[in-house]
Structure 1
């Protein structure tokens, strides 16, 4: 049996009429940048997340770049983040001449170890970029407390965290991305809310930051051909917004299905020697965007999966402090041992709402056979 890591084809076939109609409506109305569907999606995201403002942009990476620029993560200022993440979480700082400062991760959650952040704060520190990875949010209570004590800006990289929420010390759950100064989402196709191409969103509860993000996405214009800032050309595509609006109708159902699938994996692999699972920490609602395992002889396991036509992914094979592009920061092997160790043990198994129970059974059977 071949098991895909992800495919959009099943979802498209299930909702073909709705997707086709959504795209057709955009074409019939005449293609325009930042069309009605973009505004409708922004409104839908605000309602779903309870964010006061939302700004659609061309990608999650662009969302990070715009937000970092606006928040002043540049010109030698230090910004604390994690080395265990996708490149864009840190390149958004470096692109503006900011100085990324890494802090190791919690080995049970893969998120930044909040207990180590304050030791990294200096008089040059201006912000923190917590990354909510895979299935759960970082410790936002501790992070916001540190930010308040040191007057730091917080940019939540919630690219993978759509649908997740954190209660912490508050009286109610708050959606990922809505706790810091800015939050961003990626609509890359594999995401929980994924487009059929690139797309991203910036959210905030601050009106001033909202107006800046809205301006920065259109070259820094405050009205047509009147520029107050040096901005970007980063607009969410209208057709992608139309596709995402269809998906938003089924978002809670999709999140629930991901949890069901995660529980299939937990149940079938719970006593498998050689495997460990991440632990959910803090009072929060997780969303299983990715299902990760920590595996003994990870490289042997994934080769076994490949031979049996089970697709997988490794997030991430090399931490950012050891990447060539960040060698100028001066970090070396051994500086962040938890991140380095996790990179040698982690593997992601297929999980998306349309995967079947038989396919999950086959994946788990294949893993168990390897560890016999």
Structure 2
């Protein structure tokens, strides 16, 4: 079968192409390319999208949510750390199984990343490991809501409330995911800690046509500090109160995001439906462990990531590629095994779950345009290739 894509950006955009064309023209005609009305409007619309309109919410998640757009998701993390005045001599706890940017920003500020392992089922940060890693130097905890569902924010907020250590939630892959605690109080990913951050990289569930990011917070003062950092440390022109960055979301990206945002819940539903089809097709395949859903969190499926029994992942991926089925590995190495972070002093074997996952996870095509026929073909070829690997064909 031809035409199977890991991510189908054109397919998604074709449905809304006239709206996108109008939005791009509107920006070109305005001559306001950095900041301005488009960015302000997007901030308000994203605030509304993050609110929960029914049930008990954790911390009030409507009027007191402040959005700070920025240039990309990596900058969002760095800005959050800068706003919390984290720097040399400080420690920040974060998972070993994540994309490098989560840890990169800690190093860029001269702080030390303290890595912890992740859970075997959800791939999210191990909260017991977090507690054990806390020292007098710990100034922040960065959980990553990986692949589309929330880390255990109930346990993490309990740690934060007990120790006073702020939490920065990396929601780059989990925008609009919802977490519900044991008391029935619920909230969106990114709105529990001091900051939430996200990315609008094109392949994200809400992606732009370049790069973009944002911070979320319920603290007005932190929001103002973060906003100033995005613009060279100033809120007024030529008045700079702190050292900042040049990290502003441009109007073109904001306009595109405004077109796509009203469709986001439908796009998430389409991803969830595709995930359910995969689940059904794969449920009886002994070598495959389908994604576990945490009962406390919704899953928005930025990725559909399976685990494979035994170290057969790479051979399977090569076979699927020959069959026209693209796959990806998120992530082939733990952060502690990356050359860039040799200086942290960790050794192979210190994070056994991270190391196991890096050898066994495989992400299958996941996007809004995926057809059931394509999914049936993908799984049929996967089963066939597994049989070949086992020597049954």
2:291·2:304 contact (CA, 8 Å) conserved in 1?
Answer: no
Task: Report the equivalent of 1:4.
Answer: 5
Q: Output one character per residue of 1:79-109: Cα deviation in whole Å (capped at 9) or x when no partner.
A: 1110100001111111101110011100101
Q: After TM superposition, list the pairs within 5 Å mapping 1:14-163 onto structure 2.
A: 14-50=15-51, 52-163=65-176
- What displacement does 1:31 show? 3.3
- What displacement does 1:69 show? 1.3
Q: Does 1:202 align with 2:203?
A: no
Structure-2-length-normalised TM-score: 0.93
- What displacement does 1:172 show? 3.3
- What displacement does 1:278 show? 2.8
1:72·1:126 contact (CA, 8 Å) conserved in 2?
Answer: no
1:57·1:235 contact (CA, 8 Å) conserved in 2?
Answer: yes
311, 314, 337: which one aligns with 1:299: 314
Partners in 2 of 1:172 and 1:121 — Cα distance? Answer: 27
Partners in 1 of 2:276 and 2:127 — Cα distance? Answer: 28
364, 368, 371: which one aligns with 2:379: 364
Partners in 1 of 2:347 and 2:233 — Cα distance? Answer: 39
Task: Report the equivalent of 2:330.
Answer: 315
181, 191, 195: which one aligns with 2:204: 191
CA 1:291 to 1:180, structure 2 compared with 1: closer, same or farther past 3 Å? same
- What displacement does 1:230 show? 0.5
The SS at the match of 1:311 is: coil
Q: After TM superposition, list the pairs within 5 Å mapping 1:237-252 onto structure 2.
A: 237-252=250-265
The SS at the match of 1:241 is: helix
Partners in 2 of 1:245 and 1:169 — Cα distance? Answer: 34
288, 294, 298: which one aligns with 1:281: 294
Partners in 2 of 1:12 and 1:130 — Cα distance? Answer: 31
2:23·2:259 contact (CA, 8 Å) conserved in 1?
Answer: yes
Structure-1-length-normalised TM-score: 0.98
- What displacement does 1:20 show? 0.4
- What displacement does 1:171 show? 4.0
Partners in 2 of 1:100 and 1:309 — Cα distance? Answer: 39
181, 194, 207: which one aligns with 1:181: 194
Task: Report the equivalent of 2:178.
Answer: 165
Structure 2 stretches lacking a partner, 5+ long:
52-60, 388-393
The SS at the match of 1:102 is: strand
Partners in 2 of 1:65 and 1:200 — Cα distance? Answer: 11
- What displacement does 1:282 show? 4.1
1:220·1:227 contact (CA, 8 Å) conserved in 2?
Answer: yes
The number of aligned residues is 372
Q: CA RMSD in A?
A: 1.1
1:173·1:284 contact (CA, 8 Å) conserved in 2?
Answer: no
Partners in 1 of 2:184 and 2:5 — Cα distance? Answer: 41
Q: After TM superposition, list the pairs within 5 Å mapping 1:198-277 onto structure 2.
A: 198-277=211-290
Structure 1 stretches lacking a partner, 5+ long:
none
- What displacement does 1:4 show? 0.9
Task: Report the equivalent of 1:339.
Answer: 354
Partners in 2 of 1:282 and 1:269 — Cα distance? Answer: 20
The SS at the match of 2:167 is: strand
